[in-house]
A and B are shown apart, each in its own frame.
Chain A
């Protein structure tokens, strides 16, 4: 090394620095470990702090009228503290619990991996007989204890399964991601509101810090409880849902496959959201046997699947208003534009059918009587891009933004979409014809359809649908109100007058297809749809709103493979509207309904 770097001196300085470090640390070690060993040794024996968890109670859920729909009920869970458990008692315990001894040992071993001193839950929902047997034999079973927990309890007749969702024991994978707040054995929202509002509903665990001795026995509260973290109870949800309407809607779908969605057009609140087949949510509360899970998962009716929000059905004739709105707003037609319906429409070498010969028809009559030929021609006149533009305005092809996580955007084809699927220039105008009547490559969910009905009923005002109206924050006492998000469709008042006239006539004027939706004393407006599908009978649709002038409810009814919308879905919609607006059914006359159902309208 060249002398200019003064290495010999600096080397000495560095070595001196290292020596100082060594001596300082050595001195500190001697001080801590040798001079004060007895002080720290004693502290480690008795001044050991352990947090004792205080479990929060999951938030309650109320409907729009303050009726409790999701409650909590105490349940007993048997726990084992691995550090204190005697393995030789396992057979006796297993016989008490009617469990496999190996299962118990596996759970204990699994929990031991996280913390030997934290109780591991072995069995949930133990019954009272088991509990008392356990109490009697307590000293024979060291480390065995029970915890009081709460399970979800559903006091109402309505199941509301898909909307409320269920909670589930947290998976190891989730635990790794969220280890801060959750522990093995904790429940976490898996679907529906339970999942979407997990943060609010869960609250947070409190901790009491206690001083334990080397045997793990509690000696006293640590630092007089000054360090304790208070438990934060879960926040309550207040829904827009009308639980009575929900129960009634579910009963109307009994034995069917389908969905009903009802929305409050004034703010977008979801009044009812039913999907059938469904499941009993109390089956999934607390301990769920594997057999019950398997039964739900393998059921052909797919009861866990939310048909109201996750499906992509062709909307059929209910979709005609999209095209009518587009054509009228863009000035392509007026009410004086007429088509002569001869019961069919030839395009190229293909014939597109209609159910009737409607004769000379304008746009209002075409909606009223659901004339296909009119819309075949109008689709060609209007074009895919305009149709797509208005479809998007009505919210199709994208999620509605409802506050549950299960939602499918559906499919609203555009030129780009066809180019992608079939290649540029390899699809023809013939692809479009059937889109005009909501058939072919278009997919919507009943929720989207209910929003669509709301938009028409509101003359273009589109509120983002929401289930939760407000959250009651337990910690602060504040009430957080869900903001209403509203956009307005770019459609003029005259156009709404024309389209809405069609919907009014469809239900109320002779020749309309939606007669069966009529409700005494209230003017209902709506549109039927019968969506053909290759896998069986057509899907029956009805969308509508009431009262027609200033709607208080917008509704969509879908029944899978049930035939004509006018015959099957329209009466269901009528009954729901009646139930909601009157609070009860004013028609007790069954034959009246049967009559409506038997009419040949569709």
Chain B
């Protein structure tokens, strides 16, 4: 085993990840203080410990073997996803948990890391052209397989994350802006139209402006634009034709946490929690919103409310700041590594963290529709936390080997 020198260890990444995990543990303790779920708190501690071990293992794995094993990890995660479908244990109406000694493992989380590795391995191939249809199709297929397996279980959040990662990684790999828009615009239009006419109009407007700026072939541009409008309108039209209970099913699919008080309740309570925290917060374990259990899923999807209420702006800012530092550092690492594979892995990790952060914090503050995804390092959940730590391990590994290969 070779010696590790100081300059092979990226202190910024390690420190941010560990601080975030610490804040997570503290927040989970508060969020479950009342519910008597001290079990949840101790489990979270266990996940952090396991995560750190996993992170070190990934960091110390020889770079070459990591690259060679990318497809193996991917294959294993696909098998695990199939395993869930076959033998999965029903948890909260969704089949995505493996009952491992009552703790529950979620292969779809691990699949995120494995898909990042597989995408990077594929796109770093010698003769790959990310603007060629054949290679695009293979990249899409790599993401589509786990997504379809996950889609067989109702989970919109994971689906959005996977395609987000694909887009960002493809873009980093050199996909043209126009290509990005061709994919993004109709998809965004379809989703936006389900949330209402105004978001849909905004998406249409945005894509029109971007198309004008890009000045690609006019004929192709107008096809893309028409496609965007058509997809959006038809989705809205089909939705309008559905029976109310079917509409409700779709809306519930998009927002599994919808509660009997109506869709706005979660967000309202979450905003009250954050806003009432003020500058310095109400004090640890003294947040009325948190301790009175006004916020549904407050130790998973709405965890951001907890430190924001109890530690106020200071707490909320520290979390946002640490996450931003982590993302920034990740992009830096992706830019400094020599190997194209390493660069793509790093950007895949950044993409995953960024998408989770944007959706989760945005949702908590009422800026993004409610889609259930966890906040990296903070939310309760073993599979997610361990996957994030493994991804940190990947970043550290790429950094350590930045001058090699």
**Chain A interface (Cβ < 8 Å from any Cβ of B):** 1-2, 4-8, 10-11, 14-15, 17-18, 21-22, 24-26, 28-30, 32-34, 36-37, 39-41, 43-45, 47-50, 112-117, 207, 209, 214, 227, 229
Residue in A22, A30, A115 with the greatest tally of chain B CB atoms within 10 Å: A22
Give 1 or 0 for each of B20-41: 1 = CB within 8 Å of chain A CB: 0000000000000011110000
A5-B173, A18-B324 known; A32 vs B289 contact (CB < 8 Å): no
For window 333-375 of B, CB contacts with A under 8 Å fall at 334-335, 337-338, 340, 343, 347, 350, 354, 357-358, 361-362, 365, 367
Nearest residue (CB) in B for A42 is B276
Nearest residue (CB) in B for A29 is B316
A28 close to B365 (CB less than 8 A):
yes
Give 1 or 0 for each of B138-176: 1 = CB within 8 Å of chain A CB: 000000000000000000000000000000100111100
B331 close to A115 (CB less than 8 A):
no
A49-B294, A227-B260, A229-B260 known; A30 vs B275 contact (CB < 8 Å): no
Nearest residue (CB) in B for A14 is B331
Residue B202 CB within 8 A of the other chain: no
Residue B86 CB within 8 A of the other chain: no
Shortest distance between the CB of A107 and any CB in chain B (Å): 13
Nearest residue (CB) in A for B350 is A14
Shortest distance between the CB of B47 and any CB in chain A (Å): 20
B173 close to A115 (CB less than 8 A):
no
A21 close to B36 (CB less than 8 A):
no
A15-B328, A48-B292, A229-B260 known; A33 vs B174 contact (CB < 8 Å): no
B289 close to A114 (CB less than 8 A):
no
B34 close to A116 (CB less than 8 A):
yes
B34 close to A37 (CB less than 8 A):
no
Residue of B278, B334, B357 near A41 (CB, 8 A) is B278
Shortest distance between the CB of A118 and any CB in chain B (Å): 10
Q: Which residues of chain B are near A22, meaning CB under 8 Å?
A: 320-321, 324
A209 close to B261 (CB less than 8 A):
yes
Residue B221 CB within 8 A of the other chain: no
Assembled-state Cα–Cα distance A330/B168 (Å): 76
Assembled-state Cα–Cα distance A515/B275 (Å): 87
A30 close to B313 (CB less than 8 A):
yes
A21-B357, A25-B320, A115-B293 known; A32 vs B334 contact (CB < 8 Å): no
Residue of A8, A10, A39, A114 near B275 (CB, 8 A) is A39
Residue of B171, B274, B316, B362 near A10 (CB, 8 A) is B171
A32 close to B36 (CB less than 8 A):
no
A10-B171, A14-B347 known; A36 vs B275 contact (CB < 8 Å): yes
Residue of B35, B328, B335 near A113 (CB, 8 A) is B35
Residue of A17, A28, A43 near B276 (CB, 8 A) is A43
Shortest distance between the CB of A111 and any CB in chain B (Å): 9
Nearest residue (CB) in B for A111 is B36
A2-B340, A7-B343 known; A33 vs B316 contact (CB < 8 Å): yes
Assembled-state Cα–Cα distance A505/B36 (Å): 71
Q: Which residues of chain B are near A40, meaning CB under 8 Å?
A: 271-272, 274-276
Residue B125 CB within 8 A of the other chain: no
Q: Which residues of chain A are near B313, meaning CB under 8 Å?
A: 29-30, 33-34
Count of interface residues, chain B, beta-carbon cutoff 8 Å: 53
Assembled-state Cα–Cα distance A26/B317 (Å): 7
B274 close to A33 (CB less than 8 A):
yes
Q: Which residues of chain B are near A114, meaning CB under 8 Å?
A: 35-36
Q: Which residues of chain A are near B343, meaning CB under 8 Å?
A: 1, 5, 7
Q: Which residues of chain B are near A28, meaning CB under 8 Å?
A: 365, 367
Residue B312 CB within 8 A of the other chain: yes
A227 close to B261 (CB less than 8 A):
yes
Residue B277 CB within 8 A of the other chain: yes
B320 close to A26 (CB less than 8 A):
yes
Nearest residue (CB) in B for A117 is B292
Q: Which residues of chain A are near B34, meaning CB under 8 Å?
A: 112, 115-116
Assembled-state Cα–Cα distance A6/B320 (Å): 29
A11-B334, A18-B328, A40-B272 known; A1 vs B261 contact (CB < 8 Å): no
Q: Which residues of chain A are near B173, meaning CB under 8 Å?
A: 5
Residue B279 CB within 8 A of the other chain: yes
Q: Which residues of chain A are near B36, meaning CB under 8 Å?
A: 112-114
Nearest residue (CB) in B for A214 is B288
A24-B367, A34-B278 known; A18 vs B327 contact (CB < 8 Å): yes
Q: Which residues of chain A are near B70, meaning CB under 8 Å?
A: none
A115 close to B35 (CB less than 8 A):
yes
Nearest residue (CB) in A for B294 is A48
Give 1 or 0 for each of B270-291: 1 = CB within 8 Å of chain A CB: 0111111111000000001101
A47 close to B174 (CB less than 8 A):
no
B340 close to A5 (CB less than 8 A):
yes
B271 close to A11 (CB less than 8 A):
no
Residue B44 CB within 8 A of the other chain: no
B293 close to A25 (CB less than 8 A):
no
Q: Which residues of chain B are near A113, meaning CB under 8 Å?
A: 35-37
Nearest residue (CB) in B for A116 is B34
Nearest residue (CB) in A for B357 is A21
A10 close to B35 (CB less than 8 A):
no
Nearest residue (CB) in B for A7 is B335
Given contacts A6-B174, A32-B365, A43-B275, list 6 more A-B pairs with CB under 8 A: A1-B340, A11-B335, A33-B313, A40-B271, A49-B261, A49-B294
Shortest distance between the CB of B101 and any CB in chain A (Å): 15
Q: Which residues of chain A are near B347, meaning CB under 8 Å?
A: 14
Shortest distance between the CB of A229 and any CB in chain B (Å): 6
Residue B244 CB within 8 A of the other chain: no
A33 close to B261 (CB less than 8 A):
no
Residue of B174, B271, B362 near A25 (CB, 8 A) is B362
Shortest distance between the CB of A421 and any CB in chain B (Å): 32
Shortest distance between the CB of A42 and any CB in chain B (Å): 8
Q: Which residues of chain A are near B294, meaning CB under 8 Å?
A: 48-49
Q: Which residues of chain B are near A2, meaning CB under 8 Å?
A: 340
B331 close to A18 (CB less than 8 A):
yes
A4 close to B174 (CB less than 8 A):
yes
Shortest distance between the CB of B217 and any CB in chain A (Å): 21
Shortest distance between the CB of A208 and any CB in chain B (Å): 12
Assembled-state Cα–Cα distance A36/B366 (Å): 15
Assembled-state Cα–Cα distance A18/B323 (Å): 10
Q: Which residues of chain A are near B340, meaning CB under 8 Å?
A: 1-2, 5
Assembled-state Cα–Cα distance A50/B343 (Å): 51
Q: Which residues of chain A are near B335, meaning CB under 8 Å?
A: 1, 7-8, 11
A43 close to B272 (CB less than 8 A):
yes
Shortest distance between the CB of B129 and any CB in chain A (Å): 10
Nearest residue (CB) in B for A114 is B36
A33 close to B171 (CB less than 8 A):
no
Q: Which residues of chain A are near B196, meaning CB under 8 Å?
A: none
Residue of A5, A21, A29 near B324 (CB, 8 A) is A21
Assembled-state Cα–Cα distance A413/B321 (Å): 73
Residue of A6, A8, A32, A115 near B274 (CB, 8 A) is A32
Q: Which residues of chain A are near B271, meaning CB under 8 Å?
A: 32, 40
Assembled-state Cα–Cα distance A116/B35 (Å): 8
Residue of A14, A18, A47, A229 near B272 (CB, 8 A) is A47
Residue in B261, B294, B328 with the greatest tally of chain A CB atoms within 10 Å: B261
